[in-house]
């Protein structure tokens, strides 16, 4: 699909030169950083050297002191503590770290993860009743809870305190919890980006420092919190929060901890997911580890994830990892089937083919998997997409959108046709009566028709800078690695070079093309994955957009460009 190349905010060349001199970095790197809004020296140094010592104080988050005190009093009084988490990787890793910590300091603690299909997102009254019945005095919600007013009121009436540890939007009417720990509206940009597990980790930092002051560790080992970062990194990456502020420190350090992790569950899941035991990347977490842990929540019992991440029994860990792997394979099959169905429906439907959005529904589709498929359809068509899983007279839908359409706001303006909805700018969920489907779809398309104008239906490729090939040196390519780990909010830099020639192209297996690109006297190797179909289709001259990487082959470390997009020039 053709893309719009869009340069980031343009920088002042003077500033780039000045910073590159004072910091001893190349102008390529200083330009990239400035264009991304990282502009002063101190900020750049902190960005390039993410260090756990620079973690902001956990007490910057409102309510932290109060929550910490309440948990310590529960410890002292041997109160039963219940952890309640969301069924996704963020919730599962949150529950795992808090459970492991509290166990290690001798707490009477248990956990519960609701079933996505039977109980749905967040707290529910039946669970609360069960906890009260079992004598639980303190409930800690993780990666959920902030919108569960009714359930938390009920808990309070029955003398069970609730501490909410969440990162979702706080509703206007706050639930009557003992304390709410949610930095979403803290106004501090380093911490309002945290995933649920990042907030949970902050709670542990606060708890440990207070317990230390109170002398707890005079007679027991003080837990090493850095060792939990292999779990914190899972939820942080899986929840697609930006890799900025405290998240950058968590991901950067967490990947290292993940690579040396002795945790049985981590070792086992890396093995079944074919992830290198000591050289995993952020992308391995996104595409290999997280989907396996998430699969349990989509199709089966999400608690398998917590069991895996908290066990110290290697046999059990192996069994659980294998179980997750099987569930995930099943999830992939279901996903492929829905994807094929959807493509067929789109091709049959002329209205849909020519509309600016996609809305499809079926009774055959598993509600736990339609969100993933909707994302794939957005990738393929670049149109706002809603997939609905029908169950007699009611449908549950997952919506995924493109940059120019705020899907939550769009659903809000169509709320008269919906039973319920919720979500964010690019992803949302909805419930609809089957009989309202047609009228909803027509109005959705009408709305998109007016809202999407010009080239808004063309995906954007964000460009970090324009380079002459001769500017691409080994120093530059080595230096760019300091920007890792790449991910949401910190994309791998993409550069453009104008009017290059292609030389010696070879098409290898799996649509991999290797060649040389030449500009003036400089020639650099280039590799293209699935971007060029045949050697004949390669133009003589072109503008290219690419990543700069090092290619280590047989001990030789050379610079290599990885083609992202190509725009032919008229010859």
Q: What is the DSSP letter of 24?
A: T
What is the closest distance, in whole angstroms, from the C-beta atom of residue 89 to Mn ion in the complex? 8
Nearer to Mn ion, 74 or 399 (CB): 399
Residue 7 has a CB neighbour count (10 Å cut-off) of: 13
Tokens 């169905």 label which residue?
341
Q: Please, which residue, 84 or 381, has the CB nearer to Mn ion? A: 84
561 token code pair:
């460009």
CB 165 within 8 A of CB 94: yes
Cβ closest to Mn ion, residue 91 vs residue 384? 91
Q: List the structure tokens of 205.
A: 């930092």
CB proximity list for 534: less than 8 A, separation 6 or greater:
507
**Least separation in angstroms between CB 533 and Mn ion:** 39
In the complex with Mn ion, which residue's Cβ is closer, 145 or 196?
A: 196
- Smallest gap, in angstroms, from Cβ of residue 407 to Mn ion? 18
Q: Classify residue 408 as exposed, middle or buried by CB count within 10 Å of its CB (0-12, 13-18, 19+).
A: middle
Q: How far is the CB of 397 from Mn ion (least distance, A)?
A: 20
Q: Which is nearer to Mn ion, 90 or 151 (CB)?
A: 90
Shortest Å distance, C-beta 230 to Mn ion: 18
> Would you state the structure tokens that stand for residue 8, as one six-digit string?
């980031």
The residue (of 85 and 485) whose beta carbon lies closer to Mn ion is: 85
Check the CA dihedral 479-481-486-492 and report its sign: positive
Q: How far is the CB of 273 from Mn ion (least distance, A)?
A: 21
Closest contact distance (angstroms) between CB of 192 and Mn ion is: 14
Which residues bind to Mn ion, rule: CB under 5 A?
A: 90, 143, 196, 239
CB of 96 to Mn ion, least distance (A): 14
Q: Which is nearer to Mn ion, 137 or 400 (CB)?
A: 400
Q: For Mn ion, which is the closer residue by CB, 94 or 355?
A: 94
The 3-class secondary structure across 242-277, one letter per residue, is CCCHHHHHHHHHHHHHHHCCCCHHHHHHHHHCCCCC
Q: How far is the CB of 560 from Mn ion (least distance, A)?
A: 36
Q: Which is nearer to Mn ion, 90 or 565 (CB)?
A: 90
Query: Between 55 and 95, whose beta carbon lies closer to Mn ion?
Result: 95
Q: Indicate the angle between helix axes 64-76 and 196-213, nearest 10 degrees.
A: 60
| Count of CB atoms situated within 10 Å of the CB of 464 | 23
Q: How far is the CB of 276 from Mn ion (least distance, A)?
A: 27
Q: What is the spatial distance between Cα 27 and Cα 19, in angstroms, rounded to a whole number?
A: 8
Give the span between the Cα atoms of 478 and 467, in whole angstroms: 16
Q: Helix 314-348 and helix 303-310: axis angle, to 10°? A: 140
- Count how many Cα atoms sit within 13 Å of the Cα of residue 229 in the half-sphere of its side chain: 23
Q: Which residue is nearest to Mn ion (CB)?
A: 90
Contact 516, 502 (CB under 8 A): yes
E strands, 275-407, where?
358-362, 385-391, 394-400
Is residue 377 packed enough to be buried (19+ CB in 10 Å), middle (13-18) or exposed (0-12)? Answer: buried
- At its nearest, how many Å lie between Mn ion and the CB of residue 193? 12
Cα separation, 169 vs 535, in Å, equals 51
Asked if 91 contacts 196 with a C-beta cutoff of 8 angstroms, the reply is yes
Helix (H) or strand (E) holding 209: helix 196-213
Report the residue number, 34 or 95, with the smaller CB distance to Mn ion. Answer: 95
| C-beta of residue 265 within 8 angstroms of C-beta of residue 293 | no
């Amino acid at each position: 699909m053709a893309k719009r190349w869009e340069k980031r905010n343009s920088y002042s060349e003077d500033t780039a030169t000045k910073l590159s001199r004072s910091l001893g970095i190349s102008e390529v790197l200083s330009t990239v950083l400035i264009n991304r809004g990282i502009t002063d020296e101190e900020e750049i140094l902190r960005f390039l050297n993410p260090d756990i010592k620079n973690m902001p104080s956990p007490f910057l988050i409102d309510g932290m002191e109060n929550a910490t005190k309440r948990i310590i009093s529960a410890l002292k009084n041997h109160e039963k503590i219940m952890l309640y988490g969301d069924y996704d990787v963020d919730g599962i890793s949150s529950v795992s770290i808090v459970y492991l910590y509290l166990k290690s300091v001798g707490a009477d603690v248990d956990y519960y993860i609701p079933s996505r299909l039977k109980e749905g997102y967040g707290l529910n009254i039946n669970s609360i009743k069960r906890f009260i019945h079992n004598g639980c005095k303190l409930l800690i919600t993780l990666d959920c809870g902030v919108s569960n007013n009714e359930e938390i009121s009920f808990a309070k009436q029955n003398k069970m305190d609730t501490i909410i540890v969440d990162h979702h939007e706080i509703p206007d009417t706050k639930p009557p919890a003992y304390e709410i720990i949610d930095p979403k509206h803290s106004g501090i940009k380093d911490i309002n980006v945290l995933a649920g597990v990042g907030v949970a980790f902050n709670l542990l930092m606060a708890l440990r420092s207070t317990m230390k002051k109170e002398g707890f560790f005079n007679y027991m080992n003080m837990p090493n919190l850095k060792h939990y970062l292999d779990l914190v990194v899972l939820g942080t990456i899986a929840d697609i929060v930006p890799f900025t502020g405290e998240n950058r420190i968590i991901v950067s350090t967490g990947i290292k901890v993940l690579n040396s992790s002795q945790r049985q569950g981590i070792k086992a899941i890396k093995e079944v997911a074919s992830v290198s035991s000591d050289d995993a990347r952020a992308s391995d977490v996104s595409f290999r580890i997280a989907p396996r842990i998430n699969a349990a929540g989509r199709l089966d019992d999400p608690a398998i994830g917590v069991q895996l991440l908290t066990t110290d029994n290697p046999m059990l860990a192996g069994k659980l990892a294998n179980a997750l792997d099987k569930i995930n394979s099943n999830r992939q099959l279901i996903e492929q089937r829905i994807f094929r169905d959807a493509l067929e429906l789109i091709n049959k439907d002329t209205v849909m083919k020519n509309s600016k959005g996609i809305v499809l529904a079926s009774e055959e589709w598993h509600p736990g998997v339609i969100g993933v498929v909707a994302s794939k359809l957005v990738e393929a068509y670049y149109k706002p997409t809603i997939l609905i899983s029908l169950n007699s007279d009611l449908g549950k839908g997952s919506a995924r959108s493109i940059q120019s359409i705020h899907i939550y706001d769009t659903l809000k303006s169509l709320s008269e046709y919906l039973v319920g909805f919720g979500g964010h700018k690019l992803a949302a969920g909805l419930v609809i009566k089957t009989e309202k489907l047609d009228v909803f779809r027509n109005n959705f398309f009408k709305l998109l028709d007016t809202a999407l104008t010009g080239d808004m239906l063309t995906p954007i490729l964000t460009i970090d800078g324009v380079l002459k090939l001769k500017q691409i040196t080994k120093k530059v390519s080595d230096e760019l690695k300091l920007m890792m780990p790449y991910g949401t909010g910190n994309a791998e830099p993409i550069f453009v070079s104008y009017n290059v020639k292609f030389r010696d192209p070879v098409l290898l297996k799996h649509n991999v093309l290797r060649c040389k690109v030449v500009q003036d006297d400089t020639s650099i190797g280039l590799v293209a994955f699935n971007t060029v179909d045949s050697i004949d289709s390669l133009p003589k001259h072109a503008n290219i957009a690419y990543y700069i990487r090092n290619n280590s082959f047989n001990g030789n470390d050379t610079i290599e460009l990885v083609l992202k997009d190509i725009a032919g020039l008229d010859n």
